[in-house]
């Protein structure tokens, strides 16, 4: 079955449908990760996005339930140069995901790097390009969108009840890898909805602010809770959690032209001069800073990749220390956080 991708500027890429039939609207973005396609598609941070994989073949090693980062796919569509199956394409089809193979992903990525991430539609099956473009241009942009309520848990739940310390995770779109790493480091873990109050969180030994989708600036209530929480309990922010910590401490965030998405992003740890190869997935960033609290910096564009506020016992990482998927350079961040809580 034929299909196509239409970008809001009128550019069209032809392909073949290899999964569900229909149309999927969202922001067209790309990831440079060579592995972890199932983890990427099920990462809640990819909500409302169409993912282009730069790896030339996707699906080579099949699928497994343990690799999913959440209960369901959150990406709206998958764009590939060559899809391998049938396990991968069957998995996508069963979950209703539009997926196109045969896309000129090299040209698409160059287009997104030059013009920026943009609104798009992936169409699997018969469809009018003109009608698709007209519909795309009516879609909201990612900037200004608060999406965490759509992916957060509705009710608190216990992920792990065994541990030397008890950590609360605020679920803005938390990946299972974060929960596994916390439990593996020796923490009991309870997960809360995005709108949990500060008094509830302050009862725990530590708080982790998870990753999540969308623009951090509209999350004014979540930032207000964090402002009330700072100084009362140790805090670790990851990805969106890092951006919210930045906003709560007076910094600014902004939309990146095409985002940081992949498992090979170099980050400078300023205190040591060490360069970490990191896993990342974000379209917004904390503004560059030369202040002492900015502990890590992107070697791609100088954006702030880490924060530390000792007086408030709060720190954060824009990159993903749980590395699901990705290199393990940043693994110690979660382990050290739990060990410090246990030693307090």
Beta carbons of 239 and 212 less than 8 angstroms apart: yes
Active-site residue, selected from the candidate residues 74, 260, 265, 320: 320
- pLDDT of 111: 98
* Nearest CA among 180, 234, 236 for reference residue 342: 234
- pLDDT of 137: 97
pLDDT tens per residue across span 56-89: 999 999 999 999 999 999 999 999 999 998 999 9
Helix (H, G, I), strand (E, B) or coil at 283: strand
Catalytic residue list contains 320: yes
Catalytic residue list contains 239: yes
What distance in Å separates the CA atoms of residue 279 and residue 305, rounded to the nearest whole number? 12
* 275: confidence class by pLDDT, cuts 50, 70, 90: very high
Helix locations, the chain, DSSP H: 37-41, 87-94, 105-115, 129-136, 148-151, 176-184, 198-201, 220-229, 240-248, 332-343
pLDDT tens per residue across span 158-203: 999 999 999 999 999 999 999 999 999 999 999 999 999 999 999 9
Predicted confidence (pLDDT) at residue 293 exceeds the cutoff of 90 = yes
Active-site residue, selected from the candidate residues 239, 265, 282, 305: 239
What distance in Å separates the CA atoms of residue 7 and residue 117, rounded to the nearest whole number? 9
Burial of 140 per CB tally in 10 Å (0-12, 13-18, 19+): exposed
pLDDT tens per residue across span 106-138: 999 999 999 999 999 999 998 899 999 999 999
Mean pLDDT calculated for residue range 222-236:
98
- pLDDT of 126: 86
Active-site residue, selected from the candidate residues 48, 222, 305, 322: 322
pTM of the model: 0.97
Q: What is the mean pLDDT of the chain?
A: 97
Mean pLDDT calculated for residue range 314-335:
96
| Backbone dihedral region for residue 309 (phi beyond 0: left; psi -120 to 50: alpha; all else: beta) | beta
- pLDDT of 221: 98
């Amino acid at each position: 079955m034929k299909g196509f991708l239409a970008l809001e500027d009128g550019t069209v890429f032809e392909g073949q449908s290899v999964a569900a039939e229909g149309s999927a609207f969202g922001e067209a973005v790309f990831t440079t990760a060579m592995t972890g396609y199932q983890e990427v598609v099920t990462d809640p941070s990819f909500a409302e996005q169409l993912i282009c994989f730069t790896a030339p073949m996707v699906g080579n090693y099949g699928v497994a339930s343990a690799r999913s980062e959440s209960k369901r796919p959150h990406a709206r569509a998958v764009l590939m140069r060559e899809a391998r199956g049938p396990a991968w394409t069957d998995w996508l089809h069963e979950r209703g995901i539009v997926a196109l193979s045969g896309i000129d992903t090299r040209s698409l990525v160059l287009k997104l790097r030059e013009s920026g991430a943009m609104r798009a539609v992936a169409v699997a099956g018969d469809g009018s390009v003109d009608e698709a473009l007209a519909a795309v241009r009516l879609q909201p942009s990612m900037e200004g969108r608060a999406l965490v309520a759509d992916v957060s848990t509705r009710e608190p739940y216990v992920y792990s009840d065994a541990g030397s310390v008890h950590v609360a995770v605020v679920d803005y779109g938390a990946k299972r890898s974060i929960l596994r790493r916390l439990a593996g480091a020796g923490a009991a873990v309870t997960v809360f909805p995005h709108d949990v109050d500060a008094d509830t969180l302050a009862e725990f030994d530590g708080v982790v602010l998870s990753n999540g989708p969308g623009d951090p600036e509209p999350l004014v209530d979540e930032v207000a809770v964090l402002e009330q929480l700072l100084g009362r309990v140790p805090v670790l922010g990851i990805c969106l959690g890092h951006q919210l910590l930045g906003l709560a401490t007076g910094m600014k965030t902004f939309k990146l032209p095409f985002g940081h998405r992949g498992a090979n992003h170099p980050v400078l740890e300023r205190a040591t001069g060490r360069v970490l190869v990191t896993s990342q997935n974000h379209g917004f960033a904390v503004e560059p800073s030369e202040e002492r609290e900015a502990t890590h910096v992107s070697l791609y564009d100088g954006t702030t990749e880490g924060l530390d506020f000792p007086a408030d016992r709060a720190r954060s990482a824009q990159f993903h220390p749980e590395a699901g998927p990705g290199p393990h350079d940043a693994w110690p961040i979660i382990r050290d956080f739990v060990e410090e809580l246990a030693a307090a």
